[in-house]
Structure 1
Amino acid sequence: MFHEIQRDCRSELMTGTSVELFEYSLSWLQQEGWAIVSLQECLERLARNDQSRRYAVLTFDDGYRDNVSVALPILERNNAPFMMYVPTAAVTRTMQSWWLGLRELFRSRDDITIDAMGIRFHCPDYESKRFALTKVDHWVHQNYNRAEMLAPTFNKAGISIATLNHQYFLDECALQELARHPLASIGGHTTSHAALAAIDATLARAEMADNRNYLQNLLQAPVRHHAYPYGACGVREELLAKEVGYSSAVTTRHGQLGSDRLNQFALPRIGVSSAFDSNISFAARMNGVQLAAQTLLARRPHRQHLEETLRAWAGRR
């Protein structure tokens, strides 16, 4: 799972994936014997339990311009198919992309007050800007309704979300051109990039169905696959995705695919971001080492309790 592929990741406060890490990801996969396949081919291989070779799917969320200007030439050199999940409002410039507003806010100023949080930040250098941005970002992710509370701060700072949308997201013509590329597949990502699990079922269904209809009309092609914004989903959202006509949906849950107990409407992904990843950590996650370590650590309290119980039982004997 990728979002932005940035030429200068540091100037964007490490909010995407650097070109260097992106290129390394693709070369590592191929050197380690992974075939890079389309999502459709992946699902077909899983359906027939094809275990002849390991394979990976590349996905991009939101429809950023740099996915075409920066990532696409790299993908072409590697003959790597990919899926891009696109929200309607990104293309029409109406999306409340609060994360772009926050990044611009901290990039452009050293002293910032987030009125909704009642916090003032003094961040004159890169590290303090990264820390402050992460803190506010985490605050929004705790309750997505808080995103609307940032609007007065953006207005006061003269930050136009519509302008940022135009600067960072593909427009209709660019998306139509991309959809004709032999390596590209386009999927749905709701109308407004809503956290579906946080809204009522009627609105959640409309978010998915209207976005799918918009993309199919724009591209004159079927749109079969969906990504839940923020990974905010549960059983209800899985059922809605199937109901509106999707054949798969991806989450932000970390994990690898397997034919056993596969839920095509809750597919896991491995996120790649330069804020958290290095070449070494990417390899560890792809090999399953990181997930195994996390599982082991999560089980440690239970194991310690079991060992203490056994020692006490042995002592009573």
Structure 2
Amino acid sequence: MRQSFKAAVFQAVRWSGLTPALRKIFAGRAAILMFHEVQRDFRSELMTGTSEDLFEYSLKWLRHEGWEIVSLETCLERLANDSQPRRYAVVTFDDGYRDNVSTALPILERNNAPFTVYVPTGAPTRTLQSWWLGLREVLRSRDTVTIDAMDIRFSCPDLNSKASAMSKVAKWVHEDYNRAELLAPTFRNAGVSLSALNDVYFLDERELQGLAQHPLASIGGHTDSHPALACLDAASARAEMAGNRSYLENLLQNPVRHFAYPYGTPGACDTREERLAEEVGFSTAVTTRHGQVSDRKPNPLALPRIGVGGQFDTKLAFEARMNGIQSAMHGLLGLS
């Protein structure tokens, strides 16, 4: 019901002619877009990433609407120095999925769109405790799934119910990031290997080296093991960042200056993590806090992003976020 109401509001604003006015008031000068997987078979992956169709539409729409797609460094430089009312978009991907190359890269090339991929050490080394991949595999392969740690049994015979279960368990984990470890018995009982899933879904070291040589690509850090940094003591959090930066620089033989906080929510990163990121040597860091960039000189170590994808995302909703309509709804109607 909530999604239907929001869609109705978006559609009404589009046809009312109010979009230019709302854009002027609520939209920023720049937007950093956040993607994870770009999926050819979106439904069979339980609608957990971004569909290939929506990804391509988003880039074409940006070009059509006059947004200039630039690198993160270029975006921040132009915001600081360019007084003209130009609008900039930055494309980012978290985690380093194989489909960022196989599916997304040809689309990025057609649109001449620079992009950054934030990679945790554990993805190419296959050591990442990628609980989200394990959960998806368990749900895809079974019609009934018991999550002992939640004391819940899901009946999920079709893709929609599986996607719903995925969303509920993920929300439970995001309420307390330490809960991710409690899913291990579920994976073990189902015979699901996270290492094997890492091998299927993430770029390996050789592939990552190849991607780093692409003229449109930049590689950023994303910690060693993808923890919620705020849940760690300062020394451990710093080691996660520094170890990842060192690993990537040694592997790629290039400086790594950009960083994405795992999870990226206020509960996963705050001012302490900003300070640590600067100490380690990162010049920018992105969060998952929703928003566009409005200031000429935003905090480069706590940049907001606009997520694209998921079960309920649509072309209309994407346009509404980019035009500031969703921000207007949040401010005027209290809807996020």
Using the size of structure 1 for normalisation, the TM-score is 0.92
**Which letter maps to 2:242?**
A
**1:276: Cα distance to partner?**
2.5
Does residue 256 (structure 1) correspond to residue 286 (structure 2)? The answer is no
**1:284: Cα distance to partner?**
0.4
Q: Which residue of 2 aligns with 1:304?
A: none
**Which structure has the bigger radius of gyration?**
1
Contact 2:79/2:297 (CA < 8 Å) preserved in 1?
A: no
Q: Which residue of 2 aligns with 1:105?
A: 138
Alpha-carbon distance between aligned partners in 1 of 2:60 and 2:297, rounded to the nearest angstrom = 30
**1:50: Cα distance to partner?**
4.3
Contact 2:126/2:199 (CA < 8 Å) preserved in 1?
A: yes
Does residue 69 (structure 1) correspond to residue 102 (structure 2)? The answer is yes
Q: Which residue of 2 aligns with 1:35?
A: 68
Correspondence list, 1:88-99, <5 A: 88-99=121-132
CA RMSD of aligned residues (A): 1.2
% identical equivalent positions: 70
Alpha-carbon distance between aligned partners in 1 of 2:72 and 2:191, rounded to the nearest angstrom = 41
Does residue 285 (structure 1) correspond to residue 321 (structure 2)? The answer is yes
Local SS of the residue matching 1:270: strand
**1:74: Cα distance to partner?**
0.6
**Which letter maps to 1:162?**
S
Local SS of the residue matching 1:190: coil
Alpha-carbon distance between aligned partners in 2 of 1:130 and 1:32, rounded to the nearest angstrom = 33
Which 5+ residue runs of structure 1 have no aligned equivalent?
300-317
Greater relative contact order structure (CA < 8 Å, 6+ sep): 2
The superposition leaves residues 94-118 of structure 1 with CA deviations (integer Å, 9 ceiling, x where unpaired) of 0000000000000000011111111
Q: Which residue of 1 aligns with 2:256?
A: 223
Q: Which residue of 2 aligns with 1:308?
A: none
Q: Which residue of 2 aligns with 1:45?
A: 78
Contact 2:220/2:256 (CA < 8 Å) preserved in 1?
A: yes
**Which letter maps to 2:220?**
G
Contact 1:5/1:18 (CA < 8 Å) preserved in 2?
A: yes
**1:260: Cα distance to partner?**
4.4
Which stretch has the larger CA shift, 50-59 or 83-92?
50-59
The structure with more strand, counted as a fraction of residues: 2
Contact 2:163/2:311 (CA < 8 Å) preserved in 1?
A: no
Alpha-carbon distance between aligned partners in 1 of 2:53 and 2:297, rounded to the nearest angstrom = 35
Q: Which residue of 1 aligns with 2:191?
A: 158
**1:52: Cα distance to partner?**
4.7
Alpha-carbon distance between aligned partners in 1 of 2:94 and 2:321, rounded to the nearest angstrom = 20
Using the size of structure 2 for normalisation, the TM-score is 0.87
Q: 2:176 aligns with which of 131, 143, 151?
A: 143
Local SS of the residue matching 2:294: coil
Correspondence list, 1:298-317, <5 A: 298=334
Q: Which residue of 1 aligns with 2:243?
A: 210
Q: 1:87 aligns with which of 109, 113, 120?
A: 120
